[in-house]
């Protein structure tokens, strides 16, 4: 999948050719020393027959197209010499992991901390993208809470541990007892669909309340509540004055008796 390209090196012969521009026996591709440069296969520049091969243009005096059979050889390989790519050398084996007690702080971070922390950070960034943290200034997503829950549920020393929510972790419960968190505002709890429904519902209610007939009805209800607002207290004071020795009747029992009486009246009617 590499291409060999020629990189000419400056030499005395190039300088002579520049001084004697009329010299006819020199060609630009006749450099004495050639350096190789490997480039990746580009489908926009190369034919698919070049894929996986290293090639080099070969210049000859005769027309190479005369001896090419299109039924056997692809025409795009005319004038090129192919060779197989050298086999890849296997990577060296990783060094042995040092012990926790004898390694340096850098080795400890590299072998014991980063292999556990980096996957948690990657998952945190993916979740932050889902929560649109890179698009908004304020979101309900808490990166520290997510990393804490991820590390607790993916502890390599506790593989048998079942998935646990952040609020159900033991040390998190102890911390929240002494440091309770304030509730989040609804603007961070609601989803976009829920917020859209709330806004649309409020707007439809506003359009109904602004109608003249509805305004008139609301005004009448306000006046009626103002006139009859203390009727229950008036009834209680009246019976306390008439029958001071009788047990006091609470408003709840009065409301209950009133409802029972209304129900019986409805049945009789």
Do 76 and 8 have their domain in common? yes
Q: Output 198-207 pairs: Cβ under 8 A, ≥24 positions apart.
A: none
Residue 245 phi/psi, 5-degree rounding, is: -85, -10
Domain tally, the chain: 4
Residues 6+ apart with CB under 8 A from 189: 140
* One domain, residues 204 and 185: no
Residues 31 and 56 grouped into a single domain: yes
- Check whether residue 197 and residue 185 sit in a common domain: no
Please give the average per-residue pLDDT across 66-87, as a whole number: 68
For residue 62, is it within any domain?
A: yes
Same domain, residue pair 176 and 124: yes
Say which residue, 46 or 222, is predicted with more confidence.
222
Same domain membership, residue 109 and residue 181: yes
212-254 tens-digit pLDDT: 999 999 899 888 888 777 777 777 877 887 777 665 555 555 4
Give the end of a domain, one of 51, 83, 115.
83
196 falls within a domain: yes
- Dist. CA 179–CA 65, nearest whole Å: 84
**pTM for this prediction:** 0.45
Is the residue at 149 inside a domain?
yes
Confidence category of residue 38, pLDDT binned at 50, 70, 90: very low
Please indicate, yes or no, if residue 92 is contained in any of the structural domains.
no
Residue 177 lies in a domain: yes
Q: Examine residue 65 and state whether it is found in any structural domain, yes or no.
A: yes
Distance CA 251, CA 230 (A): 11
In-domain check, residue 222: yes
Q: For residue 252, give its domain range.
A: 239-269
In-domain check, residue 95: no
For residues 175 and 218, state if they share a domain: no
Same domain, 127 and 195: no
The pLDDT tens digits of the residues spanning 182-200 come to 888 888 888 888 989 999 9
Clarify whether residues 185 and 151 are in a common domain: yes
């Amino acid at each position: 999948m590499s291409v060999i390209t020629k990189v000419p090196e400056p030499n005395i012969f190039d300088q002579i050719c520049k001084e004697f521009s009329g010299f006819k026996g020199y060609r630009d591709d006749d450099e004495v020393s050639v350096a190789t440069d490997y480039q990746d296969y580009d489908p926009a520049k190369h034919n698919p027959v070049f894929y996986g091969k290293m090639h080099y243009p070969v210049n000859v005096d005769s027309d190479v197209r005369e001896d090419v059979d299109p039924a056997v050889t692809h025409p795009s390989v005319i004038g090129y010499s192919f060779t197989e790519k050298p086999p890849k050398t296997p990577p060296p084996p990783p060094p042995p992991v040092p012990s926790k007690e004898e390694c340096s702080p850098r080795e400890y971070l590299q072998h014991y901390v980063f292999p556990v922390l980096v996957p948690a950070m990657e998952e945190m960034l993916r979740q932050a993208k889902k929560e649109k943290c890179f698009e908004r200034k304020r979101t309900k997503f808490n990166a520290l809470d997510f990393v804490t829950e991820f590390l607790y549920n993916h502890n390599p020393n506790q593989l048998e541990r079942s998935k646990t929510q952040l609020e159900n972790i033991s040390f998190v419960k102890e911390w929240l007892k002494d440091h309770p968190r304030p509730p989040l505002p609804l603007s961070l709890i609601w989803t976009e669909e829920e917020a859209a429904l709330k806004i649309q519902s409020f707007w439809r209610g506003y359009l109904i309340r602004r109608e003249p007939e509805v305004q008139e009805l609301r005004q009448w209800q306000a006046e009626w509540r103002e006139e009859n607002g203390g009727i229950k207290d008036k009834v209680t004071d009246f019976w306390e004055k008439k029958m001071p020795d009788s047990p006091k009747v609470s408003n709840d029992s009065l409301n209950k008796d009133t409802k029972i009486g209304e129900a019986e009246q409805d049945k009789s009617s």
